[in-house]
Amino acid sequence: MSNSKAYMEKWRVTHKIEIAEQKKNWWAKYPLRRVWVSMRQRCYNLNDKGYKYYGSRGISVCDAWADYKTFEKWALENGWQKGLTIDRINNNGNYEPNNCQFITQSENNKKRRMRHSPQPRGIDGRFYSQGKE
């Protein structure tokens, strides 16, 4: 490999690491924006790992929330705090003000759709809790 090719390869690898670090720092600095971006990725990005559970099922984000500032205003008025996750009250409904709330990751995990082994369900269709609350 010539010196210029070796230099370019080293630069590319270093630059890629720097970009990854900047992205990591950016997400940490703006956690609510991460919620907004992730929500939109799940619904609209065919390459997102969550797309099959959201976008492919027809789940979308309301038009008003296409603007981050509108989403941010709603989130802050509706109890968002760092560490909370956005939750759709009706699992088949869209991301929109009357169908969303903020809950802890632990609460969200309890509501998660089963993907492997089913658990018994109650009359209301929710999974029975098995284990720690």
Domain contains 40 = yes
Are the CB atoms for 104 and 84 separated by under 8 Å? Answer: yes
Position 8 in a domain: no
| pLDDT confidence of residue 127 | 54
- Give the model's pLDDT for residue 111: 79
pLDDT above 70: percentage of residues in the chain: 64
More confident residue, 42 or 124: 42
Is residue 12 included in any domain, yes or no? no
Which of the 8 DSSP states describes residue 127?
B
- Asked, for residue 17, whether it belongs to a domain, the answer is no
Report pLDDT for 133.
44
Does residue 131 sit within a domain? Answer: no
Query: Residue 68 has what pLDDT?
Result: 94
64-102 pLDDT, tens digit each: 999 999 999 999 999 999 999 999 999 999 999 999 999
Confidence of residue 14 (pLDDT cuts 50, 70, 90): low
Average pLDDT score over residue span 16-24: 60
Give the pLDDT confidence of 33-51 residue by residue, as tens digits.
999 999 999 999 999 999 9
In a domain, 89, yes or no: yes
* Domains: count for the chain: 1
Q: Return the pLDDT at 38.
A: 93
Q: Which residues contact 50 (CB under 8 A, 6 or more apart)?
A: 41, 42
Alpha helix (H) residue ranges in 56-118: 68-77, 105-111
Is 127 inside any structural domain?
Answer: no
* Domain enclosing residue 91, as ranges: 31-111
